[in-house]
Amino acid sequence: MKRRQFIAASTLALPGCERTQDIQGGFVGANHERGHLLREARSWSTPPLLRKTGVVIAGGGIAGLAAARALRQQGIDDFALLELEDTVGGNSRAGSVSGIACPLAAHYLPLPSDAAPEVQELLEELGLRHRVSGRWQYDERHLCHSPQERLFFKGSWQDGLLPMQDVGADTLAQYQKLSALVEQLRQRSRWTIPSFRQSLDATQLALARITFDMYLDQQGLSDPHLRWYLDYCCRDDYGAGTASVSAWAGIHYFAARHGFNVPGAQSQEREAVLTWPEGNAWLVRRMARPLAERIHSGQVVLRVANVKHGVEVDAFNTVTQKLERWQARRAIVALPVLAAARVTENPPDFLRHTANLIRYAPWLVANIHIREALFDRPGAAPSWDNVLYGTPGLGYVDAMHQSLQSVPGATVLTYYRALGDLPQGRPLLLTQSWSAWRDQILNELSAAHPDLAGKTTRVDISRYGHAMAVPVPHQTDRPRARTLSSGRLNFAHSDWAGYSVFEEAFTLGHHAA
């Protein structure tokens, strides 16, 4: 059987939900105990071990790694990067289940526009893009292979994620109306990724004050299929839906990319993305490689302070179980804003203010190992991104999609769920048992894949209590500076952009350095 062929499932579907108790797995990923050490920060005694370096980078996510790269570009090698986890990468780390690499969170990077020259330069350095006859070309092996995405809608799979199968004329008219509105807004204002260094004009400021739901209601855009799709997009990018995010964020999702395209319309264009079996950890590994011994993992930064002739950074070394004090000329605080506000001594007003303003979305990511290919419902062929209409989750991506194997077989399906809209999302995430999550997720996906539970061998679940900043209304007075600094401390993290994507984290880190 060829990779893209599929078998209509209705006659072949296996039951199997009753067999979930045989499925192995557990919680993996972020170390919550280490994170909780931050709460005890003020009660630590004087650290015995003194260490010196030129620059301390606190936090080894994309922002911290980008800062380290930029220091090296300036010829500064005298620095130490302190990371709480055992490996760097933050939300862009990878795992593996039964020998198959898979993302623990971030899994793709859209091709950066000219508004992200720093990211373009990184991709060039990594050999992902090069000039051919004066035009930029991306390495085909790393561009998401076709078919890219499909939606399980009305009992079958359709190509693309915007519901199209048998929708009425009213629905199509509303799609067209939103498409025209987004186009008008694109003409009127500047929409870029990264957005953090751009100041908002009056139109954008007005959009930033209301929720996306309010805007859609004002425009009479009430079609349930359109509203589901927009809610899905916002949950997918921002961790919370249209009721939570600002209208600026809702429009930005489309306007900063290629608009809101209705299939069949002239300018129809699907977003080209770079992706890897292990997700954005592919980029992380290459950014971390030249840093070698400058990376100090398993170090929980507990205190960052401007002192008379430099900075002091206290970190708990989880290997020696001792506190260490780093003395340096400067520090780059590439921590989530919540953590930065906790550890920074005498935090500057902009840090305190932003920490009070930020609302975090919790996320759950489940890596589901299946021992053989799933039977499939009729319609569009298995794709990289597979979404089920009307479900609480965001569907799954297939870790083996980029492989060139001709026969589908064992793989890992990475399932995503954003909990930013649930008032009790964080306690639910942290208290619900692994087996309850396992059964809930398999049950959700079984509408499209009744044989899933029977073919699943393992489910590894990563939980992120404060995964990303949600771009809620009234965040317009956030600092939008090129460099956020206080004394000898510079701050960088995607939180400063108000929402979390690679381009924002990377560019902020680059400029902090």
Ligand X SMILES: Cc1cc2nc3c(=O)[nH]c(=O)nc-3n(C[C@H](O)[C@H](O)[C@H](O)COP(=O)(O)OP(=O)(O)OC[C@H]3O[C@@H](n4cnc5c(N)ncnc54)[C@H](O)[C@@H]3O)c2cc1C
Interacting residues with ligand X (CB under 6 A):
38, 58-64, 82-85, 90-92, 105-109, 280, 299-301, 334-336, 339, 363, 365, 416, 464, 467-468, 493-494, 500-502, 505
| Beta-ladder partners of 136 | 131
Closest to 494 measured CA to CA, from 42, 61, 162, 17: 61
Integer Cα distance of 494 and 59 in angstroms = 12
Residue 266 burial (CB count, 10 A) = 7
Integer Cα distance of 58 and 34 in angstroms = 15
User: At 235, is the secondary structure helix, strand, or coil?
Assistant: helix
Nearer to ligand X, 108 or 152 (CB): 108
Q: Minimum distance from CB of 85 to ligand X (Å)?
A: 5
Closest to 467 measured CA to CA, from 333, 342, 336, 282: 336
CB-based contact 68:79 (threshold 8 Å) = yes
Q: Minimum distance from CB of 388 to ligand X (Å)?
A: 18
Nearer to ligand X, 92 or 386 (CB): 92
Closest to 388 measured CA to CA, from 151, 162, 165: 151
Q: Minimum distance from CB of 37 to ligand X (Å)?
A: 8
Nearer to ligand X, 13 or 501 (CB): 501
Q: Minimum distance from CB of 275 to ligand X (Å)?
A: 8
Q: Minimum distance from CB of 225 to ligand X (Å)?
A: 25
Nearer to ligand X, 70 or 105 (CB): 105
**Where does 239-300 have alpha helices with state H?**
247-255, 281-288
The two structure tokens encoding residue 339? 């953590």
Nearer to ligand X, 195 or 494 (CB): 494
Integer Cα distance of 437 and 435 in angstroms = 5
For the four alpha carbons of 27, 150, 111 and 400, in that order, the dihedral sign comes to positive
Supply the DSSP string of 243-259, one letter for each residue: TTSBHHHHHHHHHTTT-
Q: Minimum distance from CB of 115 to ligand X (Å)?
A: 15
Closest to 398 measured CA to CA, from 100, 158, 140: 100
Q: Minimum distance from CB of 351 to ligand X (Å)?
A: 14
First to last CA, the chain: 52
Nearer to ligand X, 164 or 340 (CB): 340
Give Dmax (Cα) for the chain: 75
Q: Minimum distance from CB of 107 to ligand X (Å)?
A: 4
Residue closest to ligand X, measured at CB: 61
Edge-first strand listing for the sheet containing 79-83: 295-297, 79-83, 55-58, 330-333, 489-491, 484-486
Q: Is the peptide bond before 194 cis (omega within 30 degrees of 0)?
A: yes
Nearer to ligand X, 314 or 451 (CB): 314
The two structure tokens encoding residue 375? 């039977």
The two structure tokens encoding residue 129? 């893009």
For the four alpha carbons of 500, 127, 87 and 436, in that order, the dihedral sign comes to positive
Nearer to ligand X, 216 or 288 (CB): 288
Integer Cα distance of 446 and 90 in angstroms = 31
Q: Minimum distance from CB of 177 to ligand X (Å)?
A: 29
| Beta-ladder partners of 58 | 82, 333
Nearer to ligand X, 205 or 430 (CB): 430
Nearer to ligand X, 175 or 491 (CB): 491
Q: Minimum distance from CB of 503 to ligand X (Å)?
A: 7
Integer Cα distance of 366 and 441 in angstroms = 8
Nearer to ligand X, 181 or 361 (CB): 361
Q: Minimum distance from CB of 492 to ligand X (Å)?
A: 8
Integer Cα distance of 143 and 124 in angstroms = 14
The full length of the chain comes to: 513
Nearer to ligand X, 87 or 242 (CB): 87
Q: Minimum distance from CB of 454 to ligand X (Å)?
A: 27
Nearer to ligand X, 157 or 502 (CB): 502
Integer Cα distance of 473 and 482 in angstroms = 22
Q: Minimum distance from CB of 331 to ligand X (Å)?
A: 12
